[in-house]
A and B are shown apart, each in its own frame.
Chain A
Amino acid sequence: MHAPSPPPRKRLLRLKLNGRWREDAVAESDLLVDYLRDVAHLTGTKTGCDGGECGACTVLVDGKAVPSCITLAVRCEGCSVETIEGMATQGRLDRLQRAFHEKLGTQCGFCTPGMIMAAEALLRRNPNPSDEDIRAALAGNLCRCTGYVKIIESIKAAAEVTP
């Protein structure tokens, strides 16, 4: 058995979360996904495999898609972090959310927040992606329901909408 761990040492973490600066006391051992869900109470970001293999926890850090389950929260000091909760504005779905809804890109919905954040990173750097571009951008995101076809159609549909 391992010896009991000493109590966590906390520090102040300052970051811009979905466009708003905030400060929170976090343990240095906290992972970004746990900070988002348990401290910021943004539970849209999902804990899936917990090992960086499924993409359900994908968020944007300074505009880049990363798996938040293998990212230390304290590494995000001063960074801009965007989650699925930051996509809709004033109650209106974002173009990707709307497309996933209308094109049936979502079934059980568990992978969807990660899929949408990975797709958002793609559309920002490549507004008109090919099917191949979309497949490459979503290579780290697993879905066990849709078979991916509807997801790719959703992202293509979103790309045709001016953001």
Chain B
Amino acid sequence: MSTLASGLRVAHPHSIEEAIAARAQNPGSRFLGGGTDLIVNMRRQIDTPNALIDLSRVDEMAEIVAKGDILRIGAGVTIASLAGDASIAPYKAVVQAAEGIAGPGHRNMATVGGNLCQDTRCIYYNQSEWWRSANSFCLKHRGDTCHVAPQGQRCHAAYSGDLAPALLVFNPEIDIAAPKGCRRMPLADLFVEDGRAHLSLTEGELVVAVRLPAAPPPSAYAKVRVRGAIDFPLAGVAVALTSSGGKVGSLRIALTGTNSRPFLLADTDRFAGRAVDDKLLQEIDRLVQKQVQPMRTTTASSNYRRVAAAALARRLVAQLAGQGAA
């Protein structure tokens, strides 16, 4: 790893307004959340901003506030704070996802906004400068070929955040600040199926909060990874399930690690009214396998990740149903 470029500037705004203004003044700058993803990428020279806008002193982004039927989580809340906050406890999938993110030291630094907006990952991308140079770089950075799918025209780097799927099953919105004002949109619309440009944010925009609806359904999150102690998900699955009389009321399943974006599994509405039995679980398994698109972006095979994602989904649905959630 190399040190950071010596000419790097760091600004420390104390408000969202100041942060947005600092970013607008310098198109070569980047917002800095916890830095557990960005600083590593800068040390690998795959991200080379000339300045960082440190958001750690923006207090208004570091709060979790319940107001009416919305729980508003500031994008600057650390993952450790999120995991331990009593108001998050009913959102079980979020707690489980947060507790499984990286190691304890990372969770003390990393933030909700940073985790949501983290870069996509690939074995041809998250490497040192000399490694990538020896491989003629790649489509995502400085190269013209995707080594995962050389015939194609797009980057297949995988989105590997844990929080996104866990939040998506609750259908949240996000607040975005920008030089031209604020806007609000569904979290699902933040993500795009393109490993090179996986966020829909426009220049200078900043995710400032996540808005979760109150009264969440029972939920769970699980992932498979190479190293159990700390690692990014090879596949991660969140499930939210309600029912009455042993039959499915609503079922939402979200995935990460398998595509260039986290996404809600389509067509789960058709399971409403069905009993949670082996036949249903097999159908869920098939639906997951049909919609995920793992590519050769990790050391594990893409087929393993496809099968693992389906198995996790099946397992979590059965588990939630067995707990009486369904």
Number of interface residues of A (CB under 8 A): 36
A9 to B109, CA, bound (A): 25
* Residue A58 lies at the interface, judged by CB distance under 8 Å to chain B: yes
Cα of A85 to Cα of B7 in the assembled complex, Å: 31
- Chain A 4-61 residues near chain B, CB threshold 8 A: 5-9, 27-31, 34, 49-53, 55, 58
Q: Does A127 contact B (CB under 8 A)?
A: no
Given A72-B54, A75-B54, are A66 and B6 also a contact pair (CB < 8 Å)? no
Does the CB pair A70–B108 fall under 8 Å?
A: no
B3 and A65 contact, CB distance less than 8 A: no
Q: Give CA–CA (A29, B35) in the complex, Å.
A: 13
- Looking at A92-100, A104-112, A135-143, the stretch in contact with chain B turns out to be A135-143
Given A55-B103, A65-B105, do A29 and B43 touch, yes or no (CB 8 Å)? no
Say yes or no for A74: interface residue by CB 8 A criterion: yes
C-alpha spacing A53/B126, complex, angstroms: 13
Known A51-B1, A140-B230; judge A67-B105 contact (CB<8 A). Answer: yes
Would B229 and A139 count as touching, CB distance under 8 A?
yes
B43 touches A51 (CB 8 A): yes
Tell me if B89 counts as interface (CB < 8 A to partner A).
no
A18 CA to B8 CA, complexed, in Å? 28
Chain B contact patch, size range: 20 to 34
Given contacts A139-B229, A140-B229, contact A72 B39 (CB under 8 A): yes
Q: Which residues of A contact B230 (CB under 8 A)?
A: 53, 139-140
Residues from chain B with Cβ under 8 Å of A6 in the complex: 6-7
How many residue pairs link A and B with beta carbons under 8 A? The number is: 99
Minimum CB–CB distance from B316 to chain A (whole Å) comes to 22
Q: Inside 8 A of B56's CB, which chain A residues have their CB?
A: 75
Q: Does B123 contact A (CB under 8 A)?
A: no
Is A31 a contact of B3 with CB atoms below 8 Å?
A: yes
B104 is an interface residue with CB less than 8 A from chain A: yes
Closest chain B residue, CB of each to CB of A77: B12
The smallest beta-carbon distance between A44 and chain B, in angstroms, is: 17
Q: Among residues 75 to 131 in chain B, which have CB atoms less than 8 Å away from a CB atom of chain A?
A: 80, 102-106, 108-109
Residue of A nearest to B8 (CB): A29
Contacts of A77 in B (CB 8 A): 12
| B1 A50 Cβ-Cβ under 8 A | yes
CA distance A66 to B56 in the complex (A): 15
Residue pair B7, A29 in contact (C-beta under 8 Å): yes
Report whether A5 and B6 are in contact in the complex, using a CB–CB cutoff of 8 Å.
yes
Do A140 and B104 have beta carbons less than 8 Å apart?
yes
19 A/B residue pairs, CB under 8 Å, sorted by A: A2-B48, A5-B6, A6-B6, A8-B7, A9-B9, A27-B6, A28-B8, A29-B8, A52-B106, A65-B104, A66-B108, A67-B105, A71-B39, A72-B10, A72-B32, A72-B35, A74-B10, A121-B104, A141-B103
Sorted from nearest, which 6 A-B pairs have the closest CB atoms? Answer: A140-B103, A6-B7, A50-B1, A29-B8, A29-B4, A139-B229
